[in-house]
Structure 1
Amino acid sequence: MGIGYKTTWVAVRNAAPEVVADALGLRHREEMGWTDGTEAAYRQGVFVARAEPDPTWTLAHGRIHLTAGFNAADPWFPDWLRSLSTQLGEIQFFSTDRIGDCHGWARADAGELTRAYYYGNGSVPLHVGDRTDIERELGVGERQLEDGWQSWGDQEWDAFMNAMPCEQDVMRIAERWSVCPLHIPEESVTDQGIHGFPAGFEPR
């Protein structure tokens, strides 16, 4: 299946999987191949592996356990990104779920959150920094609920919703920023990755 839709992942530049797993505090570690690891991380836990055939990027994939109860509206989430980038350098975060209509992306380096945008459940709880070129090309990543939104009519809401991202936008942004996991051939990843659980989660 590989890493694709309805999940979250972090891309880390020039970091070994072991280093990324350490920064995420993964426990109960088990070596897995790409196919088994990515499928396991859709169910529980986090899988960390190099994004072959381009070893520049290491991906950490976890649908529900990548962070402890991910919610972009929580104040701790930007701090978590900053802390992770302090440890690892350049990191990129992506999340997409078409069922819940929640999509977002973020980029941080050396402890500074330079760009973040998250849309979920009809609102934009996280908007940091200026849009990147690919966001402008796609026409996403700009709008949020402006003052007076409570009195919007159908026309205003239609315009707002038309400016919101979809899962394809997240994949295109990932491709331009680093690597789109949909384009990683499973047979190209020959090294073993690491599957584990952050603190507070136990295998089921």
Structure 2
Amino acid sequence: MGFGFKTTWLAVRERSPEEVADALRLAARERLSWDEGTDRAYVSGVYVAGPVDGWTLAHGRRDLATFDYSATDPRFPEWFAALSARLGEVQFFVNERGWFSHGWAHAVDGVVVRAFATFDGDVPLFIGEPTPEEREVGKGLRGWGDNWRDWQEEDWDAWYESAPNEQDVLKLAARWSVHPLLVDSAQFGDQGIYGMPVRPS
């Protein structure tokens, strides 16, 4: 059992599951295995796994952020920057085929250095310059800019050619940090933390 499709997740460099769970304000915590925690987080809540190659993964289909999981939500950059200010280097991935939501973001010490995301036809999130890994995958290379309403057919063709799909998100995750579907669940035991985020009142 793993995750990577129809969900969102974080990869946090060199932080413990407890530190990540604290930053995400998880309450009603339980210690769960990778398989059980992953399964539960697909329904509700967030599962923070033990470290994998120096990265701690936090998975939650609907409850990872404090708003709808679309990274094109205008609140996303501020939320993500605040999370990084607390945790250091943080990566975010969204991979929802049903809502055509695909994207990624990378922040270090409270600064969002790169972000790209689409959501069901919304004007995409595009912050910073594409990374070498994105160029290697060939996706997320083009935003809409201020003149997208004036685009010609060739402009739209270029946009759709660089728009990612669900496999592309996983390819980039593997290059940036960890491919979550390739994690060996046997290494974890019951190290992971499952909980429900406390929403601001």
TM normalised by structure 2 equals: 0.91
Q: How far apart, in 2, do the equivalents of 1:15 and 1:163 lie?
A: 33
Secondary structure of the residue aligned to 1:136 is: helix
Q: Which moved more, 1:174-183 or 1:116-125?
A: 116-125
Q: Where do residues 37-48 of structure 1 align in structure 2 (5 Å cutoff)?
A: 37-48=37-48
Q: Secondary structure at the match of 1:2?
A: coil
Summarize the alignment of residues 114-129 of structure 1 with structure 2, pairs less than 5 Å apart. Answer: 114-129=113-128
Show the counterpart of 1:67. 65
Q: Is the 8 A contact 1:51 1:184 kept in 2?
A: no
Q: Does 1:131 align with 2:127?
A: no
- Root mean square deviation, CA, Å: 1.8
**What is the CA deviation profile of residues 132-182 of structure 1, one whole-angstrom value per residue up to 9, with x for unaligned ones?**
111111221221224554355655433321220111111111111111101
Distance 1:169 1:87 in 2: 29
Q: Is the contact between residue 115 and residue 131 of structure 1 (CA under 8 Å) also seen in structure 2?
A: yes
1:178–1:155 distance in 2 versus 1, CA, 3 Å: same
Aligned to 2:101: 102
Q: Distance in 1 between matches of 2:24 and 2:152?
A: 44
Amino acid at match of 2:181: L
| Structure 2: gaps of 5 or more residues | none
Gaps of 5+ in 1: none
Q: Which residue pairs with 1:34 in the alignment? A: 34
Identity among equivalent positions (%) equals 49
* TM-score, normalised relative to structure 1: 0.90
Deviation string 1:15-39 (CA, Å, 9 cap, x unpaired) is: 1101110010001111111100000
Letter in 1 for 2:18: E
Q: Give yes or no for contact 2:13–2:55 (8 Å, CA) kept in 1.
A: yes
Report the counterpart of residue 77 of structure 1 in structure 2: 76
Q: Is the 8 A contact 2:171 2:179 kept in 1?
A: yes
Q: Is the 8 A contact 2:130 2:140 kept in 1?
A: yes
Aligned residues of 2:41 and 2:61 also touching (Cα < 8 A): yes
Q: Residue in 2 aligned with 1:12? A: 12
Aligned to 1:168: 167
DSSP 3-state at the match of 2:98: coil
Structure-1 separation of matches of 2:71 and 2:92 = 11
State which drifts further: 89-98 or 188-197.
188-197
Task: Call closer, same or farther: CA 1:124–1:134 in 2, change over 3 Å.
Answer: farther
